[in-house]
Amino acid sequence: MTLAFVGGTHRTVPLALRERLAFSAEQAAEALQRFRVRFPGREVVLLSTCNRVELYAAGESSAMPPPTEQLVSFLAECRGIDAGLLAPVLSGESDEAVVRHLFSVASGLDSMVLGEPQIVAQVKQAWALAQASDTAGPLTGEMFQAALRTAKRVASETALGRERLSIPSVAVADFARGVFERFDDKRVLLIGAGKMAHETLRYLREAGARDIVVLNRTAERAGKLAARLGGRPGTFADLAVELAAADLVVSTTGASAPVVSLEMFVAAEGRRGGRPLVVLDLAVPRDFDPRIGPRPGVWLYSIDDLAAACEANRKSRQREMPAAVTIIDEETRRFMGDLHHRSTAPVIEQLRAGWTETGAAELDRLFRRLPTLDAAAQGEIRQAFERYAAKMLHPPLTSLRNESRAGPPHGLLDALRRLFDLKE
């Protein structure tokens, strides 16, 4: 086993458990460093989004990636969760299945919203964090580059993501519009200033929203987002006040605990005058205490409430799936062929080194017997020897390359070792 994977998504991990399992950027960096110490010599990339937590590990020779149960225990330890709770909801894969899964994820085929474009940026960020943490390497590097190349092909060669639907767009179009017919007369409160917040605000502006307040714990980020898309920044300390004034709230922070508690909401509720309130809680962990949902006049939707709308989206895009799957199959075979060919490198190096050493010895012996040869003649003879060696090596090297496309060429490698007396 060279590649290993363990992870879970919105389809397998309940939201309450997924909230506990989610990693912030800082927590992910700490986990990568812990992995590096725990499993030296192995590569690892951690992908954590609102809908999935996945660990991709790689290694060769004496530093093979850990088995599934160790990876599950590692994730449980990092987040302070009983491994017994995670084992039933996390799945593990190895080698080709890992590659196919990552390529499907990056291409949006495994997203809640089929073809969602945001996942590509999240895959890039996960890989960049692994590089910054010095836990990426040649195997994960090549795999993630191939995944991004595959995603680009799917986006350009199919219509899977042409409508650019995403979780924020579904939230606004399917849920907020289910309560409000128009947005130009509504007060919108946006909590958070990351990419999800940026995209949500863009959709709200396109839907007609004009009165938008942006809150973030970092005032500068709130100001930049508000200025970019026509909102106005507020002060996070005034969250309760803004909550009382809002008609629609969209929350997308990366906080590890609810930003709006039941107590805070109840305190603001009395100042709302019975007006309806729609809350789109797109954060994992959730930003709003779920006990707020049953309060009178409140429509509180969490990330998992989008599942039905996203399933309808999936069905409408299903006709593009065969073409996308064909691309993923092609790219998976291509990557696995290259990966298998890597295993032939030591044998190829030994073959070339042996021929080079033997050729050099024979040339030296020949030149000693022919002392009258000038440098130009010696050079011509040397080049002829090198061309001859290259032509003789070409058939076995081509066979190795072709054999690698179908799988690990163990039989051919063993035969070459025996024929040419090569050591392991």
Enzyme catalytic residues: 50
Q: What is the DSSP letter of 288?
A: B
Residue 32 sits at the vertex; the CA angle it makes with 28 and 38, to the nearest 5 degrees, is: 140
Strand order in the sheet with 52-58: 43-48, 52-58, 3-9, 91-94
CA dihedral of residues 212, 217, 218, 220 (deg, nearest 10): 20
What CA–CA distances, in Å, run from 245 to 130, 185, 263?
42, 13, 17
Alpha-carbon distance of 99 to 146, in angstroms, equals: 9
Answer whether 280's CB lies under 8 Å from 301's CB.
Answer: yes
Residues 6+ apart with CB under 8 A from 373: 367, 381
Alpha-carbon distance of 242 to 265, in angstroms, equals: 11
What CA–CA distances, in Å, run from 310 to 123, 157, 171, 252?
21, 22, 10, 18
Residues 6+ apart with CB under 8 A from 410: none
Q: What is the DSSP letter of 163?
A: T
